[in-house]
Amino acid sequence: MYSMILAILGLMVAGFIAGFFDSIVGGSGVITLPALLSSGISPYMALGTNKIASTFASSTSSWTYFRSGHLERRLLLWMIPFTFVGALCGADTVLHVDQRYLQIIILIAILVIAVMTWLKRDLGQANEFVFYPLKTRIIAMFIAFALGFYDGFIGPGTGSFLLFAFLAVFRFDFITAVGNGRVLNFTSNTAALLWFIIQGKVVYLYGLPMGFAMMIGARVGSRMAIRKGVPLIRPLFIVVSIVLSMKMALTVFG
- Which residues have C-beta within 8 Å of that of residue 201, sequence separation ≥ 6? 44, 45, 47, 48, 49, 95
Whole-number pLDDT of residue 253: 67
Quick one: average pLDDT of 158-162? 76
**For the chain, how many helices (H) and strands (E)?**
10, 0
- Which residues have C-beta within 8 Å of that of residue 147, sequence separation ≥ 6? 83, 86, 158, 161, 162, 165, 184, 188
Q: What is the mean pLDDT of the chain?
A: 81
The model's pLDDT over 14-34, given as tens digits with 9 standing for 90+, comes to: 999 888 877 877 767 778 888
The model's pLDDT over 71-105, given as tens digits with 9 standing for 90+, comes to: 888 889 889 999 999 999 988 887 777 756 666 77
Classify 125 as helix, strand or coil.
coil
Given a cut of 80, is residue 143 above it in pLDDT? yes
Instruction: Name the domain count of the chain.
Output: 1
Distances (CA, A) of 187 to 70, 104, 230: 17, 26, 24
Given a cut of 70, is residue 252 above it in pLDDT? no
Domain boundaries, position 32 = 2-253
- Which residues have C-beta within 8 Å of that of residue 145, sequence separation ≥ 6? 82, 83, 85, 86
Whole-number pLDDT of residue 209: 94
Give the residue with greater pLDDT, 214 vs 233.
214
- pTM over 0.85, yes/no: no
Count Cβ atoms within 10 A of the Cβ of residue 95 and give its class: 0-12 exposed, 13-18 middle, 19 or more buried. Answer: middle
R_g of the chain computed on alpha carbons: 17
Quick one: average pLDDT of 44-69? 87
What size, in residues, is the chain? 254
